[in-house]
Structure 1
Amino acid sequence: MDLKGKVAYITGGSKGIGYGVAQSLLNQGMKVAISGRSEERLQNAVKDLNHKENVLVIVSDVSKLTDEVNAIEKVLEKWGQVDLVLANAGVGHFAPIDEMNESDWHQMVNTNLNGVFHTLRASVEALKKSEGYYITVASLAGTNFFAQGAGYNATKFGVVGFTQAAMLDLRKHNIKVTTIMPGSVATHFNGNDPSEKDSWKIQAADIGKLVVDLLLMHPRTLPSKIEVRPTRPDLK
């Protein structure tokens, strides 16, 4: 499969995994729309991307279906097709369940879980036409629960279940669906400032390479759920 000229839409594309995947796809000759809630952060991200002439910036909040419908419409108006959708936007708040506040709980559910539904619901008809690919970024927290992670675990367990069921629903339309479940990634997630101390972690570019590999895989083969973790976490 030649990726040149194919079109991707990435939520949470201004930094971290979304940004790393965007850069990898641009290097393959794809056109990439990145979305997020802050236009300033999106515009700053574009400055550092290669092939920025092939980038479209869209302000969208995945917790709102109308925003995602509008985002996909903008991609179609610009390039006429959508071949890959990466539902990557996510937030995390961590506290013992008896101390977690309601607003943090609802923000995680609305972004991490409702968001993947909104993004797919908005793009599914375009993906049917292109026989495209829908990928969610879940987490190893979607299979491994931990203390102070009840809200985050609940949403990521939900993302894994949602994506796997969607895979069964959509493969009859020749749409591939995969969930990627990373462990520790060197991103700004949860207030982290990536530096040399994070060199042992998965890098955003590694997830970008993984997405490219999925796109280049033969159409008959579908890795529907991928766990990926640092090789040597003991190097922390």
Structure 2
Amino acid sequence: MSSLQDKVAYITGGTKGIGYGVAQAMLEMGMRVAISGRHLEATQKAATSLGYSDRVLAVASDVTNLQDENNAVKQILEKWGQLDVVLANAGVGNFGAVDTLSEDAWKQMIDTNLTGAFFTLKASVEALKKSEGYYITLASLAGTNFFAQGAGYNASKFGLVGFTQAAMLDLRKYGVKVSTIMPGSVATYFNDHIPNDKDAWKIQPEDIGKLVIDLLTMHPRTLPSKIEVRPTRPDLK
């Protein structure tokens, strides 16, 4: 994209962590940003804290519900008339050995991390075709590196990486760019973690925000379709 000024983005799971950090980076570049969360009050609170009140929209949506995502995109188009960038960021993690992992925990991860990304794209794809926009998923290094007690999470993120790469091949003929970002340890609220001073070694949400801006401003002829990103140094404790 030659300029990000007034471009319109939709970020799922945008109330905190990586989604919030990306929203901040986009707003600083002059973009208009819609963030979603399952609960409107919390989403509105996050939108207010971002500032830029004339360029932020809070919408309530559960990504596991296609109608919610359709309604979210409809609200964005009604307000701003276009949609240029979508970041499918909403995600959950439930960890445990495969023999003890519950059906509900498995279903929540697959429905949110994988099916949710599909629903977000399904709801926004026609608008992205029209704008020749950008669809980005927030995957994980767990999408290529398996680990004990991660069967469900690995399955959802391996699936998300595969889904995104296939979608890239399907949509590039329309001028739509598609990428997946695969971070390692990030200082976020993921899995009920509260970021603190001990997280200084980790990737910070604003680092992912900068990475997204770099993707959006790269020359249109070039597409980094799968990006692995990790802390420079591991936690030495």
Alignment TM class, shorter chain as reference: over 0.9
* AA aligned opposite 2:48: K
| Residue-pair matches, total | 236
Aligned AA for 2:69? E
Distance 2:204 2:40 in 1: 24
Q: Which residue of 2 aligns with 1:8?
A: 9
1:29 partner SS: coil
The match for 2:206 is 205
Q: What's the C-alpha RMSD, in Å, of the aligned pairs?
A: 0.8
The alignment partner of 2:114 has SS state of helix
> What's 1:195 paired with?
196
2:214 counterpart letter in structure 1: D
Q: TM-score w.r.t. structure 2 length?
A: 0.98
Residue 140 of structure 2 is matched in structure 1 by: 139
Hey, what does 1:227 align to over in structure 2?
228
Q: Which one-letter code corresponds to 1:171 in the other structure?
A: R
Q: Is the 8 A contact 2:35 2:47 kept in 1?
A: no
- The aligned amino acid for 1:230 is P
In 2, Cα distance between equivalents of 1:204 and 1:233: 17
1:82 aligns with 2:83: yes
> Aligned-pair distance for 1:214?
0.4
How do 1:1-236 and structure 2 match up within 5 A? 1-236=2-237
Misfit runs of 4+, over 3 Å: none
Output one character per residue of 1:93-148: Cα deviation in whole Å (capped at 9) or x when no partner. Answer: 00001111111110111100000100001000000000000000000000000000
Kept in 1: contact 2:44–2:58 (CA 8 A): yes
Contact 1:33 1:55 in 2 (8 A): yes
User: Contact 1:134 / 1:178 at 8 angstroms: preserved in 2?
Assistant: yes
Amino acid at match of 1:88: N
Query: Could you tell me how far apart the structure 2 residues matched to 1:178 and 1:220 are?
Result: 14
Q: Matched residues in 1 for 2:51 and 2:208: separation?
A: 17
TM-score, normalised via structure 1 length: 0.98
> In 1, are the aligned partners of 2:21 and 2:208 still within 8 Å (CA)?
yes
Distance 1:225 1:41 in 2: 31
Identity across aligned pairs (percent)?
70
AA aligned opposite 2:82 = Q
C-alpha distance in 1, partners of 2:235/2:54?
A: 41
Checking the alignment, whether the CA contact within 8 Å between 1:24 and 1:212 is kept in structure 2 is yes
Q: Is the 8 A contact 1:108 1:151 kept in 2?
A: yes
Shift of 1:44: 2.0
Secondary structure of the corresponding residue to residue 235 of structure 2? helix
Give structure 1 stretches of 5+ with no counterpart.
none
1:50 CA drift (Å): 3.3
Please state how far the C-alpha of 1:28 moved relative to its aligned partner.
0.3
- How far the C-alpha of 1:41 sits from its partner, in A, is 1.8
Q: Counterparts of 1:136 and 1:234 in 2: how far apart (Å)?
A: 26
Q: Deviations over 1:193-215 (max 9, x none)?
A: 00111010000000000000001
Instruction: Give the whole-Å Cα distance in 1 for the aligned partners of 2:45 and 2:195.
Output: 17
Q: Distance in 2 between matches of 1:53 and 1:140?
A: 36
- 1:12 touches 1:90 (CA, 8 Å); kept in 2? yes
Give, in angstroms, the shift of residue 176 of structure 1: 0.2
Shift of 1:40: 2.3
The 2-side partners of 1:6 and 1:47 are apart by 20
